[in-house]
Amino acid sequence: MNLPLKIANSVFVGGEWIKASGEPEPVVNPATEEVIGLAPVATRSEVESAIAAAREAFDRGPWPRMSAPERAAVLTRFHDALVARRDDIIRILVAEAGAVAAILPVQFDRPMLLAKDAIERGARYRDTPLPPGTIPNAAGGRSLVGGVIRREPVGVVAAITPYNYPYLLNVVKLFPALVTGNTVVLKPSPFTPFSALIVAEVAAQVGLPKGVVNIVTGGQDVGELMTTDPRIDLISFTGSDKVGAAIAGQAAPTLKRLHLELGGKSAMIVRGDANLDAAVRAGMSYLMHCGQGCANQTRQLVHNSVRKSYVEALAQAHRAMKIGDPADTSVTLGPLIRESQRARVEHYVQEGLKGGAVLVTGGQRPAHLERGFFYEPTLFDDVDNASVLAQEEVFGPICAVIGFDTDEEAVEIANDSQFGLSGGIFSSDLGAAFDMACAIRTGGISINEGGSAPNSPIIPPFGGVKRSGIGREWGDEGLNAFTELKSLSFRQI
């Protein structure tokens, strides 16, 4: 593949492209298993330089000292220049992430909407005045006292992103961090480095001040250098709960601020009075990006009075999916990212069978595809919520259907999880569904799909509870995550 990138074995540090001293690594197209390019691999030298550049830019550079509207103006140019590279970025997403046409609005358009929203919110940042008052003074009169609450940037941010939605996650970490005055060192997944390196190209093009954005590529060793370095003030990580726990341990000695967006095993509840057609359509969304999504609702709790009909309709929709290379825009289910991930999915299929779940459809590699990391969409019914299949995050195309008889039972099953990221309820009784939603411990939940659809204009805070993470992204909460509060008081003398 002829990548739409001009860099050659270089990482982006201090506003310049510098040669990476590690051995370049091949990046594989997960649909064809062909090498699409060689990715630069940073070593300690480049990581040290990137952190030093970000530190210098924060401590002595102009970026944190600009006004919020000034930063917003620069980032608007950055945003617009990325939009102008839409076709190039989409080519990369299809080739290195295996993104099918149906999810490109989520992979590209949604992050640009979120970036623009962050810019607009950041431009409105103002000090919050405290109510004034008076106190006695030495002259026998009264002095006026007052104050403000300021939101100031945290400092140097280490942003570490995964392979499933690489461009989206790079963008939704960069823009809120930058508009609030921070500087950033970004490390993408070694499976999807080009979605980050093209962002670096655009950052250089629009003339961001040196050191404000730095992008280094590589593996776990690069990430660990970032998470342990005392010059890093905040870590924003998206990935598995196990890696998130390890990062928390690495950050502890230097008491870094943490934002962790981790795994999920989210529950979608279908009450007996639900519109089944709508529920099935939403139920199929667990297959978005071949199930490689932390917020995918992979546990589907269905009232036993309608479970048989629901499962039959869901199975029919599974069988209608077209599996193949995302370069074909008619394909609706692409590949998993690597063979190791497909092996993980196969392990969970066997666990489901051993646990007594009923395999309805799928459960094997598609026979017509000899190359690529493909797996059939797999539907299990009659799953025990205590089983491995229901409790552990698969990150692949497996759905676990669980029956229930009462609302209370459904809420109990939904809450019986180590995760709490997303969720959904389908019902014609909005009041009953609302009460259930309030009782479920999760970071976000929608009723009858609500504002969770990819094209929704609603921008709710995104994040989870329990092992699904710490903190929120998007909206005001997402901006505030990259700031520190300072109370400033004064009085007349």
Chain mean position to CA 247: 16
278 vs 285: CA distance, rounded Å: 11
Angle, in degrees to the nearest 10, between helices 166-179 and 110-123: 10
Q: Which of 108, 72, 115, 114 is nearest to 91 (CA)?
A: 108
Strand partners, 470: 260
201 vs 167: CA distance, rounded Å: 14
Q: Which of 443, 392, 73, 449 is nearest to 270 (CA)?
A: 449
163 contacts 191 by C-beta, under 8 angstroms: yes
User: DSSP string of 273-317?
Assistant: TS-HHHHHHHHGGGGGGGG--TT---EEEEETTTHHHHHHHHHHH
Contacts of 98 (CB under 8 A, 6+ apart): 29, 30, 31, 289, 290, 326, 334, 335, 336, 337, 373
Q: Return the active site residues.
A: 261, 294
Residue appearing with tokens 């917003």 = 72
51 contacts 230 by C-beta, under 8 angstroms: no
User: What tokens does 477 get?
Assistant: 């909460």
Q: Which of 11, 39, 52 is nearest to 215 (CA)?
A: 11
432 contacts 407 by C-beta, under 8 angstroms: yes
